[in-house]
Amino acid sequence: MKKIVLACGAGVATSAAVAQKVSQLLDSNGYEGKYEIVQCTIPEAKSACDDADLLIATAVPPEGLKCPYVNGVPFLTGIGRPAAEKEVLDAMAQ
Q: How much is the pLDDT for 3?
A: 96
Torsion of CA 27, 24, 9, 6, to 10 degrees: 10
Phi, psi at 8, each rounded to 5°:
-145, -175
pTM of the model: 0.91
Domain positions in the chain are 2-93
The CATH H-level (homologous superfamily) assignment of domain 2-93 is: Response regulator (3.40.50.2300)
pLDDT digits (tens, 9 = 90+) for 6-29: 998 875 678 788 999 999 999 999
Alpha-carbon distance of 19 to 39, in angstroms, equals 8
In the DSSP assignment, the letter for residue 55 is: E
- pLDDT, mean over the chain: 92
